[in-house]
């Protein structure tokens, strides 16, 4: 489905942006194994990509996305990969808040608030023993 891990690495970021409950995965009325998804572009917020996925119980039969790379024959684009990753894996994780990008800033301390270290070494009074 993918050529390497690039599309899968982007999947978390794309899905995180769509977990707010305002995005739908539409199922075709006559063919319930045909999905339509509208995804926001991660670079341009006003641009959205529409993609379609056809599948059966065993495999993904076909896919198409309206993005520049969506009509590839060799591999899926990151938008299709993210929907497949979410439906096949991420939606089954209990901690869905832990799917996307993490705020590593919570682990950083402000250098202005760090206290001066106490020098408790007795290096002036110690002698070197050999």
- Please check whether residue 50 is in contact with residue 40, taking contact to mean a CB–CB distance below 8 angstroms: no
**Residue spans per domain, the chain:** 6-97
At residue 84, the pLDDT reads 86
- Please check whether residue 75 is in contact with residue 105, taking contact to mean a CB–CB distance below 8 angstroms: no
What is the chain's mean pLDDT, rounded?
73
Instruction: Give the tens place of pLDDT for each residue, 47-59.
Output: 788 889 998 888 8
Q: 6-97 in CATH: which number?
A: 3.10.110
Instruction: Give the tens place of pLDDT for each residue, 81-113.
Output: 888 888 887 777 766 555 555 566 666 776 677
* Cα–Cα nearest to 65, from 31, 100, 89, 41: 41
């Amino acid at each position: 489905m993918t050529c390497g891990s690039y599309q899968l690495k982007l999947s978390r970021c794309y899905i995180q942006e769509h977990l707010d409950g305002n995005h739908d995965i539409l199922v075709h009325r006559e063919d319930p194994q045909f999905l339509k998804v509208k995804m926001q572009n991660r670079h341009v917020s006003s641009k959205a990509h529409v993609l379609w996925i056809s599948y059966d119980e065993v495999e993904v039969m076909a896919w198409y996305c309206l993005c520049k790379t969506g009509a590839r024959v060799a591999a899926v684009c990151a938008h299709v990969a993210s929907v497949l990753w979410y439906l096949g894996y991420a939606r089954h994780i209990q901690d869905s808040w832990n799917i996307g990008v993490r705020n590593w800033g919570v682990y950083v301390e402000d250098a202005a608030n760090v206290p001066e270290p106490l020098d408790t070494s007795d290096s002036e009074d110690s002698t070197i023993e050999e």
